[in-house]
Amino acid sequence: MRAGEYLGAIDYPGRIAAAGYGVDGEAVLLYAITGRSSNSRNRVFRLDGGILRTEPYDQSKVEDPSLIIYNAMMKAGESTVLTNGDQTDTISSFLNDGKSLEEALAVRTYEPDDPNFTPRISIVHGPSGYTLSIIRKDGEDTDRRIYRYGMEKGVMHIIHTYMHDGLPLPSFEGLPARLETLSSADELIQDAWNAIAADKRISIYVRYGSEERIINAMEGENV
């Protein structure tokens, strides 16, 4: 199944993260943000020095930056860390200190956006495999799940914060879905972007080997 086929069946996936390997074994990463409110939609991706971050498109319209402005991706040794929040910094710091992903996740919890309590989803893509994780609310407890995958050409796995639209928004459940990576950054980013509802698109980033692409709804494709 392609990313577009998968995402096209979900009316509101929230934030989307995927990792895997290209058809020739290239490392592949995908991160996309979708949103409904004007505060959420007032964002763009910026890539600088290997760090992917969210920034306000119009600073004058920012209402609450606490959960929407963050470093989404950065390097940690030989690995790349990509997440949907400021746990990017936490995980990178722990890994750089020689600690484990489990230790990093243990000091974080889900987002405090009552009543949704949005899960924190994270990826660590290393030289020989990748790990997806999710931290979500489970009653009064915090549920932390980790999914590890080895190198398999042409395959990636995807996770997202919400199962579908709703009030409150239902957190992701089940296992990350297995998808095909297609053959290039351009093909993958267009396939995924076009499948997301136009009124909810904000930004998408794809890295396919050494190629990187960004599309911001406010600006169009700019990398």
pTM of the model: 0.96
Asked if pLDDT for residue 223 goes beyond 60, the answer is no
Average pLDDT rounded to a whole number, residues 192-217: 97
Burial of 201 (C-beta count, 10 Å sphere; 0-12/13-18/19+): buried
Q: Is residue 223 part of a domain?
A: no
Asked if pLDDT for residue 82 goes beyond 60, the answer is yes
Q: Is residue 195 part of a domain?
A: yes
172 lies in which domain range? 3-217
Q: Kindly indicate the confidence band of residue 222, based on its pLDDT and cuts at 50, 70 and 90.
A: low
Q: How many domains does the chain have?
A: 1
Q: Supply the pLDDT for residue 118.
A: 97
Q: Is residue 36 part of a domain?
A: yes
Average pLDDT score, the chain: 95
Q: Is residue 21 part of a domain?
A: yes
Q: Is residue 85 part of a domain?
A: yes
Q: Is residue 222 part of a domain?
A: no
Asked if pLDDT for residue 83 goes beyond 70, the answer is yes
Q: For residue 40, what is the domain's CATH number?
A: 3.60.20.20
Q: Is residue 107 part of a domain?
A: yes
Q: Is residue 152 part of a domain?
A: yes
